[in-house]
Amino acid sequence: MVRRIAIAAATFAAAATACTAWLAHAKEISLEVDDIVAPAFSARSVRASLSGPGMRELALRIERLTVGGRDWRKVSLTCADLQTSGSRVSCTRGVLDVGEKIPLSFSYASDRGDLTAELKPAADETWQVSGRLAGARTALAARLVNAKLERFNTLLPPSAPKLTAGRASGTIDLQGSAVKARVQLDGIAFADASGLHAAEKIGGTIEVDAASEGKGWRWSTRLAWRAGELFWQPLFLAAKGQRLALEGTTGDGRSDIRSGSLELPEIGTVDLKASWDHERGVLGETEVRSARLRLGALYEQMLKPLLAQTALSDLRAEGDAAVALTASGDGLKSVNVELRAVSLEDREQRRFALFGANGRIPWRQGEATTGELTLEGAEFLKLPIGAVLIPLRLRGTGLAIGAMRVPILDGALALKDFAAGTTTEGWRWRLSGQVEPISMEKLTHAMGLPTMHGAVSGVIPDVRYGRQTLSMDGALAIKVFDGTVTAHDVQLIEPFGRAPRLHAELDMKGLDLELLTRTFDFGTITGRIDAHVAGLELVDWQPVRLDMRIESSPGTYPRRISQRAVQNISALGGAGAAAAIQRSFLRFFEQFGYARIGLSCRLRNGVCEMDGVEKAPQGYVIVKGGGIPSISVIGYNRSVSWRELVERLKRITQENVKPIVK
């Protein structure tokens, strides 16, 4: 802009000076020039005229003015009080029209090249330039006061966001081939049509020092960001006092950042080197390094907005990371990450946490590399996990772990053949392994469940994750309550989303009823049961659909049931007639025999259609008596709200619900 004002004013003044010799003898003098061409400047179809009393009215029009590669059409300058005295030409009441009429005053001495010019686009806005035009010894100083930045929209590429607000104040000095600028920016706002790039109330300072060197330039720049917010998809950033300092060169169609430093308050400092090919518009060799980034502040200031609507949307983050990467126009070439005492915790739902992560992760384009991570501990769905060593193998976008043992309470999860990678559809991974025996008492206590006895162990088939779905290729077999629970056709959709969905089929064989009922303080039942759950569907871990049947296992074994267990089972089938057992001689017995136990539920639309081991008048048999003394429990309510059924399960150990006895 400084050069544009100076060149325009000098051109206008030179045209007027050339006409001075004829002023006394003519009523109007006109000058026409087809082309004026200079480096970074050209004017086409220039028309200048002097007229009026004393030839003091100047009118100059340029059909096409080009400065720095940008064009203006039909530019004009008029002056109603042109003054000429020897080699000096001045104007105090000029108007420059570049699509907007701007008051202008100037003074130029052609013998010395002295120039002063001032534009007043608004009462509170001033653009000034002063100095001397003297070829290689040119010295100009420009001063901006509340300059409106929207005026620079014509200099921006068509695809760039458009400035909608903002002011600039400062100085720009040109000394021969050296330029120095110190500018303060306030209230900057911009946006593009897509809404993916925008800013509000941006404030800061820019300092630039540049000098020609051979056929190019050597330069340095410093930017400080002190106010405002910026959205540049997908980043959302707020001013925290960030500072950027760059030093480099520009020439032969190429810019090189020889050294750069980005200061991120509370986060750390990032050093960089880079190059840019102007003609091809591609990035050259680039290096980015940081010896220490504080992950807590990095997450809160930069990563959290990116991770909204994911399982990582609300984390507590601690620890440091050192990062080094290299890249070019072809993409990343290498990445090295070193973690130091890193902890991450899901604050909102406490689904997972990692504690004390340390290690290194090296990656090279087209090469296989190995790394290692250690965890002091972790949690998953409130389940505590011990120290873990994770050996890493990386190649391309793939990650593999040969074998890893994850301690869980007094047992472990032994994983093998873990492999992960990215596709056009996102992350995919697979693993297999086994569960080493874990105490059910410790496991249920850790997960806030009723105390269970025994141990859990089993084999994990191939588990795969892709398209936000976790699935198993085979059956997951777990030993619990001295029996076996098998899950197959398992699919967990969006496991870390807001409402995970689970589909599965379950088979339970030979579960020890005495262990099971003692676990839930249900009363005592001896014997064994089988169960089958078909079409199980959970949404946000709540059942919405299932077909479940529980029944006595085949075989010979003691089959006894306590009074309390009878009361609680009858509560599940509906209270019915009250206190029958007390009115019978059977009230003298604490234990009864039974032949079969069975209960089923078909859940649809929040209602459970219930049944038992066989039909009964106006109901169904839940416990069929057998032996001496024997007892039968009849259920009468066939349609029960699932919510009510769950409430009954909660109440059965708290209320004295009496059974129906035959």
* Mean pLDDT, all residues of the chain: 85
pLDDT of residue 135: 77
Residue 74 lies in a domain: yes
Question: Does residue 609 contact residue 601 with C-beta atoms inside 8 Å?
Answer: yes
Q: What average pLDDT score do residues 43-67 get?
A: 87
The tokens of 403 are what?
Answer: 């074998």
Question: Does residue 566 contact residue 631 with C-beta atoms inside 8 Å?
Answer: yes
Instruction: Give the helix ranges, DSSP H, for 348-501.
Output: 440-446
DSSP-derived 3-state class of residue 53: helix
**Distance from chain centroid for Cα 154:** 34
Work out the angle between the directed axes of helices 642-651 and 563-573 (0-180°, nearest 10).
160
Question: Does residue 592 contact residue 535 with C-beta atoms inside 8 Å?
Answer: no
Is the pLDDT assigned to residue 411 strictly greater than 70?
yes
pLDDT of residue 583: 42
Residue with the bigger pLDDT between 592 and 39: it is 592
Residue 420 lies in a domain: no
- pLDDT tens digits, one per residue of 268-296: 999 999 999 988 888 899 999 999 999 99
Q: What average pLDDT score do residues 536-563 get?
A: 91
Residue 361 lies in a domain: no
Kindly indicate the confidence band of residue 38, based on its pLDDT and cuts at 50, 70 and 90: low
List beta partners, residue 271. 261, 289
Q: Whole-angstrom Cα distance, residue 18 to residue 31?
A: 9
Kindly indicate the confidence band of residue 520, based on its pLDDT and cuts at 50, 70 and 90: low
- pLDDT tens digits, one per residue of 643-657: 887 777 666 544 433
Kindly indicate the confidence band of residue 33, based on its pLDDT and cuts at 50, 70 and 90: confident
Least confident range of 31-45, 142-156, 172-186, 213-227: 31-45
The tokens of 243 are what?
Answer: 């500072």
Query: With b meaning 16 or more CB within 10 Å and e meaning fewer, what string describes 283-298?
Result: ebebbbebeebbbbbb
Count of domains observed in the chain = 2
Q: Whole-angstrom Cα distance, residue 163 to residue 148?
A: 10
Phi, psi of 381 (to 5 degrees): 50, 45
Say how many Å lie between the first and final Cα of the chain, rounded.
102
List beta partners, residue 75. 62
What's the half-sphere exposure (Cβ side, CA atoms, 13 Å) at 129?
26
Q: What is the DSSP letter of 649?
A: H
Q: Whole-angstrom Cα distance, residue 517 to residue 569?
A: 11
What residue has token string 């126009």? 329
Residue 93 lies in a domain: yes
Is the pLDDT assigned to residue 582 strictly greater than 50?
no
* Selection from 143, 88, 150 nearest residue 120 by Cα: 143
Q: Whole-angstrom Cα distance, residue 620 to residue 573?
A: 9
pLDDT of residue 658: 39
**Highest averaged pLDDT of the listed ranges 521-530, 591-600, 632-641:** 591-600
Q: Are strands 528-539 and 315-328 parallel, antiparallel or unpaired?
A: unpaired
Kindly indicate the confidence band of residue 4, based on its pLDDT and cuts at 50, 70 and 90: very low
Q: Detail the DSSP E strand segments found in 424-468.
A: 426-439, 455-466
Q: What average pLDDT score do residues 510-538 get?
A: 86
Q: Whole-angstrom Cα distance, residue 96 to residue 94?
A: 7
pLDDT of residue 655: 47
Last residue of some domain: 86, 101, 121? 121
Q: What average pLDDT score do residues 392-403 get?
A: 91
Residue 49 lies in a domain: yes
Least confident range of 159-163, 188-192, 336-340, 445-449: 445-449
What residue has token string 């021969």? 176
Range of the domain at 555: 513-531+543-651
Q: What average pLDDT score do residues 580-589 get?
A: 51
**Highest averaged pLDDT of the listed ranges 63-67, 394-398, 474-478, 566-570:** 394-398
- pLDDT tens digits, one per residue of 242-272: 999 999 999 988 999 999 999 999 999 999 9
Residue 273 lies in a domain: no
pLDDT of residue 657: 39
Last residue of some domain: 121, 155, 183? 121
Residue with the bigger pLDDT between 389 and 36: it is 389
* Whole-number percent of the chain with pLDDT over 70: 88
Residue type, 294: R
- pLDDT tens digits, one per residue of 108-121: 998 888 999 999 99
Last residue of some domain: 102, 121, 140? 121
Residue 639 lies in a domain: yes
The tokens of 158 are what?
Answer: 């068509």
pLDDT of residue 650: 65
Least confident range of 62-76, 158-172, 341-355, 497-511: 62-76
Q: What average pLDDT score do residues 425-441 get?
A: 86
Residue with the bigger pLDDT between 378 and 8: it is 378
Residue 621 lies in a domain: yes
Residue with the bigger pLDDT between 516 and 576: it is 516
Residue type, 8: A
What's the half-sphere exposure (Cβ side, CA atoms, 13 Å) at 635?
29
Q: Detail the DSSP E strand segments found in 516-565.
A: 528-539, 542-552, 560-562
- pLDDT tens digits, one per residue of 127-140: 999 999 887 788 99
CB neighbours of residue 252 within 10 Å? 11
